[in-house]
Amino acid sequence: MPSRSACFFLFLSAIFGSWVIASGQKSNQPIKVAAFNIKGFGRAKMTNGVTAGYIQDIVGRYDIILIQEVRDTTGFALNRLWTGLNRTDSWGLTVSGLVGRTNYKEQYAFFYRTKKIKVTGSFQYDDKLNDLFEREPFAIEIEYNSAKRSSKSRVVLLALHTKPQDTIQELKSLPQAMRAVYGGFKRAKGIIALGDLNADCSYLSNAMKKQMEIFQSDGDFVSIIPDTEDTTVAAGTNCAYDRAIILGQDVKVSDAGPYRFDSELGLDVETAQTISDHYPIAFNLY
Ligand SMILES: *[C@@H]1O[C@H](CO)[C@@H](O)[C@H](O)[C@H]1NC(C)=O
């Protein structure tokens, strides 16, 4: 017969055992975040069943994903993707207005799983006074169950697709934009700029990179996609154009890198390039 204290211990471990399992299931999973420049994302891509299917499969790997180069003012392409995603889970969508100095405009779009993520705010960065960016950054604040804290956390995601020829100037302006936007979201523990920053190869030399505040290893910013990564689909290029930059010491991430959908899905180069010339970049957010 077990002693009285042994009974008590069994009772306690029963309670705590189930608590650990319950909270583990709820909050131990980090949020999967991605940013994908889907070249010229519009009607043509989403009416091609094969391409649309691949795009939906790639987007559906994540809990929240920023899509860049949305090129369809009718909203048809985004709606078709959204409808497809909704057949698998409940998805939300937050889209920026049209950005771009000329008649060529793009939109930023965030798809996210509504069971895991709540969008608690959004902000369109305005640079009318000094015109720093071709496509002004668009930010959303998200709330999610933090795997590290086992409580709710808020983080700001700031979308940016730089103009290749101006990327040096735009990336020099990024710290001030990130600080300003972060300052507007008092409950967020940090801000993550993400997207196609054209931050490599002919657009940004290694010497230039060394001068950039976002790439200093001892400053306020942490760049989580290594310079050695290749975020381009073409075999002849090896460039880490797509990046994610963190401001805020409490932001914890892991497993940052590109998703090579061509080799992962067994696609030849031609098929892969009908999807995009960029790989998505992704990371786990805790
Ligand atoms: C997708 O699902 C969400 C949440 O259930 C809903 O609000 C939205 O209207 C749906 N979108 C489409 C295009 O059906």
Atom of ligand 1 nearest to the CA of 114: 4
Q: What's the pLDDT at 14? A: 42
Name the nearest CA neighbour of 282 among 255, 263, 261.
255
Q: What is the dihedral of CA 98, 209, 259, 159, to 10 degrees?
A: -20
Report residues whose beta carbon is within 6 angstroms of any ligand 1 atom: 79, 82-83, 86, 90-91, 114
- CB crowding 187-215: b at 16 or more within 10 Å, else e: ebbbbbbbbbbbbbeebbeeeebeebebb
Q: Supply the residue whose CA is at minimum distance from atom 12 of ligand 1.
A: 83
pLDDT tens sequence across 17-73: 333 334 444 547 999 999 999 999 999 999 999 999 999 999 999 999 999 999 999
Residue with tokens 């760049």: 223
Residue with tokens 């689909």: 233
Atom of ligand 1 nearest to the CA of 79: 13
pLDDT tens sequence across 74-96: 999 999 999 999 999 999 999 99
Q: Supply the residue whose CA is at minimum distance from atom 5 of ligand 1.
A: 90
Phi, psi at 113, each rounded to 5°: -80, 120
CA distance 145 to 152: 4
Q: Supply the residue whose CA is at minimum distance from atom 13 of ligand 1.
A: 83
Beta strand segments in the chain, E: 31-41, 64-70, 91-95, 107-113, 117-124, 138-145, 152-159, 191-196, 221-223, 242-247, 253-258, 281-285
Pocket test for ligand 1, best of 85, 86, 89 (most atoms within 8 A of CB): 86
Q: Supply the residue whose CA is at minimum distance from atom 4 of ligand 1.
A: 90
Q: How many whole angstroms from 46 Cα to the centroid of ligand 1?
A: 17
pTM: 0.91
Q: Look up residue 268 and give its DSSP letter.
A: -
Q: Look up residue 30 and give its DSSP letter.
A: P
pLDDT tens sequence across 173-209: 999 999 999 999 999 999 999 999 999 999 999 999 9
pLDDT tens sequence across 199-239: 999 999 999 999 999 999 999 999 999 999 999 999 999 99
Pocket test for ligand 1, best of 74, 83, 91, 110 (most atoms within 8 A of CB): 91
Q: How many whole angstroms from 93 Cα to the centroid of ligand 1?
A: 8
Return the CA Rg of the chain: 21
Residue 270, token pair as written in the block: 């031609």
How many helices (H) does the chain have, and how many strands (E)? 8, 12
C-alpha 156: how far from its chain's center? 11
Atom of ligand 1 nearest to the CA of 92: 3
Q: How many whole angstroms from 91 Cα to the centroid of ligand 1?
A: 6
Residue 113 in this model has a pLDDT that exceeds 80: yes
- What does each C-alpha distance from 65 to 102, 226, 236, 249 come to in angstroms? 26, 20, 27, 22
pLDDT tens sequence across 238-247: 999 999 999 9
Check: CB of residue 40 under 8 Å from CB of residue 71: yes
Which residues are part of the catalytic machinery?
Answer: 106, 161
Q: Supply the residue whose CA is at minimum distance from atom 8 of ligand 1.
A: 92
Q: How many whole angstroms from 79 Cα to the centroid of ligand 1?
A: 9
Q: Can you tell me whether residue 50 is helix, strand or coil?
A: helix
Q: How many whole angstroms from 89 Cα to the centroid of ligand 1?
A: 10
Q: How many whole angstroms from 274 Cα to the centroid of ligand 1?
A: 27
